[in-house]
Structure 1
């Protein structure tokens, strides 16, 4: 989790929210199995665009394309949904403390999840870089987690606005829709062979 957070902070360069296209898996190579990227589908809902091996082990299936809420027990999905939406709209970072109760073939698990905002092509926060780390043996899948607690850290939008637009300091808002895309997601390579 520290590796993913440090990588995101390095991309952020102190103020800006990085673009999804800035993320290079080589930058978090040791944490790839725990990392994931979410895409916002609707308020409080996101699906896994990229899912590391840890999520698949916990659920006993390939998680790419699934809603991230599948990892969360139904009784705490509402506070999880609110935390997720804070990350998208804040923009905010979130650290979540999770617990999965024990049962037959399922030892109790403690886990932590981080959620870090990313910009999409239009400059709006529509993606999240995250990681999930658990302590204990997974046992029988699927494993769902209760949200035990969350720590949200609001990012300073005013500083970010000044840094991106170089406008006067009296402005205290950020219209991120005006920020152009800086990198293409895909590159076409053609050979004549």
Structure 2
């Protein structure tokens, strides 16, 4: 497992946010025989404290998904009702393709993903760090076509809409297979710290993988 630690760039570590932990624990508890849970298994009462931050995605094409259910956090960030909108609307155009690759990995792996985002600051819009958790779900036919997601951010959202740059992602396959770490070219000065260091092509970054 990896975690994000900021240097002097005001990067906020949200990886251990209690809302993310609650939703992750709920999803893990639904995994009978370590299989991906069904969408029908999700009971809002099981994540009641996290509902404001939660959402459900439906896969519509490779790397593309629309929001079927959206909590208030997405509405506040975008200044509009997000139900029916593509989830990629939250992501800036320069990192949208990287986001789509990660999203497709969640569906096709299947895999769970932690994504770190950054929204630039401007007048009426404070800079924001955000963390997104994506957890795959099976549809009625047994295939992975849904995702239970949750998004948390630091501070007030400011004037809507907000656009987030994907800084990096951490994926873990459900079957216990390979782990993937991705860092985008817009990543702030930060480090992914664990046991074994692997250099990246970005001079100000280190990607490290912890052996479990």
Q: TM-score range by the shorter chain?
A: 0.7 to 0.9
**CA deviation profile, 1:90-116 (whole Å, cap 9, x unmatched):** 000000000000001000000000000
2:73 match: secondary structure: helix
Give the gaps of 5 or more residues in structure 1.
Answer: 159-193
Structure that is richer in helix per residue: 1
2:136 aligns with one of 117, 134, 146: 117
Q: What does 1:123-138 correspond to in 2, within 5 Å? A: 123-138=142-157
Structure that is richer in strand per residue: 2
User: How many matched pairs?
Assistant: 158
**CA deviation profile, 1:128-157 (whole Å, cap 9, x unmatched):** 001000001111000010000100001117
1:87 match: secondary structure: helix
| Distance in 2 of aligned mates of 1:148 and 1:157 | 24
Match of 2:67 in 1: 48
1:75 aligns with one of 76, 94, 98: 94
1:106 match: secondary structure: coil
Change (3 A) 1:44 1:139: same
RMSD, aligned α-carbons: 1.1
1:154 aligns with one of 168, 173, 180: 173
Rg larger in 1 or in 2? 1
Normalised to the residue count of structure 1, the TM-score between the two structures is 0.80
Normalised to the residue count of structure 2, the TM-score between the two structures is 0.73
